A and B are shown apart, each in its own frame.
Chain A
Amino acid sequence: MNQLMVVNHLLVNINSVIGALFLLSAVVLMTQRQAQAVLRLFVRQSILLAVSAFILGWLHHSAELMIVGLITIVAKAVLIPQLLTRTLGPDIRSRRELDFIVNTPVSLLIALGMTVLSYFFVAPLLNGANQTIAVNLPVGLDVLLIGVYTLAVRREAVPQMLAMMAIDNGAFYAGIAITTSSAIVELAAGLEGVMVVLIAAILARTLAQRVGSTEVSELTHLKEGERIGEKEGESE
């Protein structure tokens, strides 16, 4: 019995450390320029989420949380990266964003502000909460906010897509601490995520074939032909 308590205590501590790494991964994901690096970070983040789900499942004796962890690993750490690497050509995967809409130091400060905000909002809820909730809830909310921000400032299609999945990760990271019955939701979200990534990846590939770039911010004109016509009209 005593041994079990020691193990549980250790697991709670490991969960805290994973929380820190999870938050760090979201911040670094925001600053990475290479689509490939963003993908790698996303996979690691998903694995961290899964490990946290396993730990919480063990602590709350909940098989559903274990299933959540499994679904996360299968969908986000295996299927989504596979799909992306298969559907997108190597040239899109290795693309780099040279400039973000907002430069990196400012983005980092904004991420900092969001961390303060999420802790500020969550603080009243944490009175008397146990340590796993005190880690997962604010960190999950923060990763969600940082994901939304990343989605907003990215210009390339692939990192945007992954930022969207990171939002999902953040929401689930908070979710697994509050409720133990989210397996159905995670199953649905996991499948949906896979489908969304598949569709978006095909769209991105078509985009790259037609326009020659996946830079979303350049898509300001409706048709290539019209734009050329417009320019000719101006010159006359």
Chain B
Amino acid sequence: MAVHIVFNLCQVLVVLLLSPFFRGLLTRIEERMQAKRGPSVWQPYYDLWKLFHKDEVVSTQSTWIFRFAPYIYFVSPLLVTLLIPVLTDYPLFMAFMGDMVAAGFILSIGAFFLSLAAMDAGTVYGFMGSSRTRMVSSLVEPIFIIVFFSVSFAANSTIPYIVQAHWVSTPAAFYSPTHLLIVAAFIMIILAETGRIPVDNPAGHFELAMIDEARTLEFSGPSLALVKWGGYTKFMVLSIVLLNVLVTPWGLASHLNGIDLCAAIVRVGLKLTGFVVLVAIVETSLAKLRLFRIPDFLGVAFVTAVIAMIVQPFHF
């Protein structure tokens, strides 16, 4: 039991410490693909370090929400980390506290508070960013739900550990069209939820075109660091759900010891690197969509998810 708790905390630590690295890696690979040099892979760490040592400016007009939102946004992906198979393929201490739906809820609480905080400061861009992120997430929500439906149809459960074990144990289900369509829809959701390129441009500095970034404009110092770090961990948590639960459910630690755990960290790191390269390719080859084209993009994701559900009963 104690080991399970320790391992569970290890998962959180791994996500916490490695997530800025993968963001740095993503930026670096992307810049390389676009024939630029790009910042160092460690740049997100420097940024966080710098921001944590800066003073913070908080508007006197703002309320407690503005002060607490960064913490909630920072903590919510870490709570989800407790529920999903990051390193081990056997359920850990918190595994049955919540399923994928709960994970979705926890993530959206963080996003909800960040949107509130952005409006709390009263800037125009904050309002714009909040309403736009709400638009995107309200479109993403049904897709999430449908994906969970399809997954639970296929695996008879929405607990991530059980779903992961299901794909490993039944190769026929793994190669079914349902599985592929779920994966395709989920990748599109990740791109939309973490503000990557077909939906939002994370490198853009033009306030009028911002979606996700516009919410963070009012934050400074440690609060901004927490919001940024929360964004990194959110991306990593969603990619881990995609990789460890859906796409490549192999390579996790299956024994209850430290060596296996360390090996699993390396393997998961490799998988994540692969996914980061894929995201970099997608981001380099696609252009950012206009705001009113986003429903089209997410519409395709929605149809993909629903088709996955329809197709399900015919293949087993």
B313 to chain A, nearest CB (A): 9
With an 8 A cutoff between CB atoms, is A189 at the interface?
no
A17-B180, A119-B314, A138-B314 known; A111 and B303 CB under 8 Å?
yes
Looking across the interface, which residue of chain A has its beta carbon closest to that of B176?
A16
Q: Which of B244-266 contact A (CB under 8 A)?
A: none
Looking across the interface, which residue of chain B has its beta carbon closest to that of A12?
B175
Within 8 Å CB of A109, what residues of B?
303
With an 8 A cutoff between CB atoms, is B295 at the interface?
yes
The stretch of A21-29, A147-155, A226-234 that contacts the partner chain: A21-29
Kindly identify which residue among B172, B178, B300 contacts A27, using a CB–CB cutoff of 8 Å: B300
With an 8 A cutoff between CB atoms, is A14 at the interface?
yes
Bound: A16/B177 CA distance, A:
5
Say whether chain A's binding surface is mostly helix, strand, loop, or mixed: helix
Within 8 Å CB of B175, what residues of A?
10, 13-14, 16-17
Q: Is the CB of A24 within 8 A of B304?
A: yes
Bound: A20/B295 CA distance, A:
22
Kindly identify which residue among B178, B180, B315 contacts A134, using a CB–CB cutoff of 8 Å: B315
A17-B180, A105-B296 known; A27 and B314 CB under 8 Å?
no
Looking across the interface, which residue of chain A has its beta carbon closest to that of B171?
A13
A48 to chain B, nearest CB (A): 12
Q: Is the CB of A116 within 8 A of B310?
A: yes
Bound: A31/B302 CA distance, A:
13
With an 8 A cutoff between CB atoms, is A108 at the interface?
yes
Within 8 Å CB of A131, what residues of B?
315
Within 8 Å CB of B176, what residues of A?
13, 16
Kindly identify which residue among A31, A104, A116, A135 contacts B315, using a CB–CB cutoff of 8 Å: A135
Bound: A105/B178 CA distance, A:
22
Q: Is the CB of B307 within 8 A of A23?
A: yes
Bound: A153/B124 CA distance, A:
40
CB 8 Å contact bits of B159-199 with A (1 = contact, 0 = none): 00000000000011011111011001000000000000000
CB 8 Å contact bits of A29-43 with B (1 = contact, 0 = none): 001000000000000
Looking across the interface, which residue of chain B has its beta carbon closest to that of A129?
B314
Within 8 Å CB of A214, what residues of B?
none
Q: Which of B293-316 contact A (CB under 8 A)?
A: 295-296, 299-300, 302-304, 306-307, 310-311, 314-315
* Total number of B residues with any Cβ neighbor in A under 8 Å: 23
A-B contact count (CB 8 A): 70
Kindly identify which residue among A19, A31, A111 contacts B177, using a CB–CB cutoff of 8 Å: A19
B153 to chain A, nearest CB (A): 14
Looking across the interface, which residue of chain A has its beta carbon closest to that of B181?
A20
Looking across the interface, which residue of chain A has its beta carbon closest to that of B303?
A108
Within 8 Å CB of A112, what residues of B?
303, 306-307
Looking across the interface, which residue of chain B has its beta carbon closest to that of A107?
B299
With an 8 A cutoff between CB atoms, is A115 at the interface?
yes
Within 8 Å CB of A123, what residues of B?
314
Kindly identify which residue among B171, B172, B177, B302 contacts A20, using a CB–CB cutoff of 8 Å: B177
Within 8 Å CB of B303, what residues of A?
27, 108-109, 111-112
Kindly identify which residue among B295, B296, B299, B307 contacts A115, using a CB–CB cutoff of 8 Å: B307
Looking across the interface, which residue of chain B has its beta carbon closest to that of A139?
B177
Q: Is the CB of A27 within 8 A of B177?
A: no
With an 8 A cutoff between CB atoms, is A200 at the interface?
no
With an 8 A cutoff between CB atoms, is A198 at the interface?
no
A16-B176, A17-B177, A20-B181 known; A31 and B300 CB under 8 Å?
yes
With an 8 A cutoff between CB atoms, is A79 at the interface?
no
With an 8 A cutoff between CB atoms, is A63 at the interface?
no
With an 8 A cutoff between CB atoms, is A83 at the interface?
no
Bound: A31/B296 CA distance, A:
8
A198 to chain B, nearest CB (A): 31
Within 8 Å CB of B299, what residues of A?
31, 104-105, 108
A-B contact pairs, 11 of them (CB 8 A): A14-B175, A19-B177, A20-B184, A20-B311, A24-B181, A27-B303, A28-B300, A31-B296, A115-B306, A126-B314, A135-B315
13 additional A-B pairs beyond A24-B307, A27-B304, A115-B306, beta carbons within 8 Å, are A13-B171, A16-B177, A17-B177, A19-B177, A20-B180, A20-B184, A23-B181, A27-B300, A28-B300, A108-B296, A119-B314, A135-B177, A138-B311
5 A-B pairs with least C-beta separation: A13-B175, A20-B177, A104-B296, A108-B299, A20-B180
